[in-house]
Amino acid sequence: MPGSLKEQTALLLGDYFQHRLGGPALPPPSPAAETLRRAASELESRERPFFRACRPLALDERREPAALLSRVAEQLEAEGGLNWGRVLALVVFAGSLAAALAEQGSREEAGRLAEVLASYLAEEKREWLEAHGGWDGFCHFFNGHGSQPTDQNSTISSAIMAAAGFGLAGLAVLLAVR
């Protein structure tokens, strides 16, 4: 992925927030952006009650939702550090706050959340990101070790087919022995 980590992060989160807030249906600018859209959507669907319950927080602290996001990010990694799952959960959380703000007409404040998150990840957590392969590492992790996002389903299907193949072969051997 070309560009500095800061640029990549800003581009990636900018695309996700725009996608999350129902902006124009543009194609994702990079494989990492496509992966983030997919993985975030899956996580948000799976944990919908929690992310819905978080939305009023943005409105309660309407004067400073960016400060709320910073405090949550700080606490999130206070125990056990970061991992890609926690990074994804934080991005989805920020997206939920941004969506709540945008619905109330505070689109600028929603954009500010993307900036705060990009700055937190690319500056404060730069070392961690670099040590884990940057956003290519994220893409790699959430796509089952390097396959393209669109290949994820076929990879899982192949894994299931392989497992089924082993099972059938074992059954055939058992029948042959008897």
**Site residues (vs another protein, CB under 8 A):** 43, 47, 50, 54, 57, 61, 68, 71-76, 78-80, 83-90, 93, 141-142, 144-147, 151, 155-156, 158-159, 162-163
Name the residue nearer to another protein (CB basis): 104 or 148.
Answer: 148
- Tokens 């070392």 found at: 127
Name the residue nearer to another protein (CB basis): 79 or 127.
Answer: 79
Smallest distance from another protein to CB 97, Å: 10
Residue type, 26: L
Smallest distance from another protein to CB 164, Å: 10
SS3 letters for the chain? Answer: CCCCHHHHHHHHHHHHHHHHCCCCCCCCCCHHHHHHHHHHHHHHHHCHHHHHHHHHHHHHCCCCHHHHHHHHHHHHCCCCCCCHHHHHHHHHHHHHHHHHHHHCCCHHHHHHHHHHHHHHHHHHCHHHHHHCCHHHHHHHHCCCCCCCHHHHHHHHHHHHHHHHHHHHHHHHHHHHHC
Query: Phi/psi at 3 (nearest 5 deg)?
Result: 90, 165
Name the residue nearer to another protein (CB basis): 12 or 92.
Answer: 92
Beta carbons within 10 angstroms of residue 173's beta carbon: 10
- Tokens 């022995």 found at: 177
Smallest distance from another protein to CB 167, Å: 12
Name the residue nearer to another protein (CB basis): 4 or 157.
Answer: 157
Name the residue nearer to another protein (CB basis): 135 or 141.
Answer: 141
Smallest distance from another protein to CB 4, Å: 26
Smallest distance from another protein to CB 21, Å: 20
Name the residue nearer to another protein (CB basis): 4 or 50.
Answer: 50
Smallest distance from another protein to CB 27, Å: 24
